[in-house]
Amino acid sequence: MHFSLRQPMTTTRLHPRAGHLFLVFLLSLIPVRTQAASILLEETFRGTTAQDWTLLGSAQLTAKAGIDTPGSGWLRLTSAVGNEAGFAFNGTAVPFGYGIDVTFHYSTWGGTGADGIGFVLFDGSTTPTTAGGYGGSLGYSQRSGVKGLPGGILGIGFDEFGNYANPTEGRQGGIGFVPDTITIRGPGDGTSNATSSTGATNYAFLTSTGALPKVDLVTGGQVSTRPSGDAAQRTAEIIADTSQIPGGHLPIAVYLTVGTGVKTLVAQYDAYTQVLQYYGNDPSKIPASIKFGFTGSTGGSTNNHEIQGIQVLSVQNAPGYAVVAPEPASIVTMGIAVLLLVVWLNRLKGRVEP
């Protein structure tokens, strides 16, 4: 299953009002933060410490390790060394029902192009002591004989090499080997088993973009120093609007910005049905709180995988947290979507039943 909502054109005739209602429905499923929200967390990773963050496996702060000077550091999930898995997470659980809107910068460089970075949400009542599988499992899902991330809910992978969506090495489901994809895997119980104790598929493949056109997830090649040019800069924003779960939706959107370019929506998907299936179709069994973090991995091929400057907001205002105004870029994105859909409606006029 892919993110695209595009469907082949048919000769079906639409009543104008039905067409408008359908478009309103589509717009409601694009997660954008158009109202005041709450600041859940901010961290630069530039220094020698990161408050309330736990670093596991190969993860390290480059300023503390002496790789960068304090004030210029990054969170390095893996070095350009084979078969590594790194995991960094914040230990403060946050309410699950207000949604998550996370923005961060990342850099991947110095190796032969593998494997990738993941942003993960997991059960707020758990405290992992290790990452998930290395290589194509991106430190989130299981691998043959290697346990997946305990309490995993969603693993959103920036898969440069192409195996996170590949149903091999113990991973469950997928579209096969495809480099440069954004792929989502679902909940898992922290074992290497294909299914949980209740028979649900562990870390099931949910969806993938397939190869992203004109976007290389790798920011630099086999170089000895971190690329600093505009074309090597990547900013990602991920919105998982869990506030829509009571209405039967869990929309996820991923935006990418290359350098100083325009923020672009590259992926969107409603994960509600598949996530709920893991919890026995009982919304009350979905964890009440979540923790979040980053995973990264290498395999036979490698890269330095690094994060800097994370900001985590809620989608809906969460009581007890500082408030932040709506993001103008999100409003602009929604405006563009409305404009494009109006154009689409106008093009249908000749085929709409009066």
CATH number of the domain residue 153 falls in: 2.60.120.200
Distance from C-alpha of 235 to C-alpha of 190, rounded to nearest angstrom: 30
| Residue 273, domain member (yes or no) | yes
H-state helical runs in 141-185: none
Of 166, 336, 315, nearest to 243 by C-alpha is 315
Residue among 158, 276, 242, 156 nearest 205 (CA)? 156
Spell out the alpha helix ranges (H) of the chain. 16-28, 272-278, 328-348
- Residue 265 in any domain: the answer is yes
CA–CA separation, 312 and 322 (whole Å):
12
Calculate the CA 249 to chain-centre distance: 17
Each residue of 217-248: b (16+ CB within 10 Å) or e?
bbbbeeeeebbeeeebbbbbbbbbbbbbbeee
Is residue 25 included in any domain, yes or no? no
Residue 60 lies in a domain: yes
| 13, part of any domain | no
Q: Which of 268, 315, 254 is nearest to 99 (CA)?
A: 315
Range of the domain at 181: 34-349
For the chain, 354 residues long, give each residue's pLDDT as a single digit of tens: 444 332 222 333 333 333 333 334 444 455 655 566 899 999 999 999 999 999 999 999 999 999 999 999 999 999 999 999 999 999 999 988 999 999 999 999 999 999 999 999 999 999 999 999 999 999 999 999 999 999 999 999 999 999 999 999 999 999 999 999 999 999 999 999 999 999 999 999 999 999 998 778 888 888 999 998 888 889 999 999 999 999 999 999 999 999 989 999 999 999 999 999 999 999 999 999 999 999 999 999 999 999 999 999 999 988 878 877 676 644 444 444 544 444 444 444 443 333
Question: What's the number of domains the chain is made of?
Answer: 1
- Beta strands, E only, the chain: 37-43, 53-57, 60-61, 75-78, 85-90, 94-95, 100-109, 116-123, 152-159, 181-185, 205-208, 234-240, 251-258, 264-270, 289-297, 304-313, 322-324
| Sign of the CA dihedral running 170, 171, 173, 178 | negative
Question: Distance between alpha carbon 344 and the CA centroid of its chain, in Å?
Answer: 29
Is 167 within a domain?
A: yes
Structural domain includes residue 328: yes
The answer to whether residues 169 and 135 touch, using CB atoms and an 8 Å cutoff, is yes
Asked, for residue 96, whether it belongs to a domain, the answer is yes
Interatomic CA distance for residues 126 and 198, integer angstroms: 19
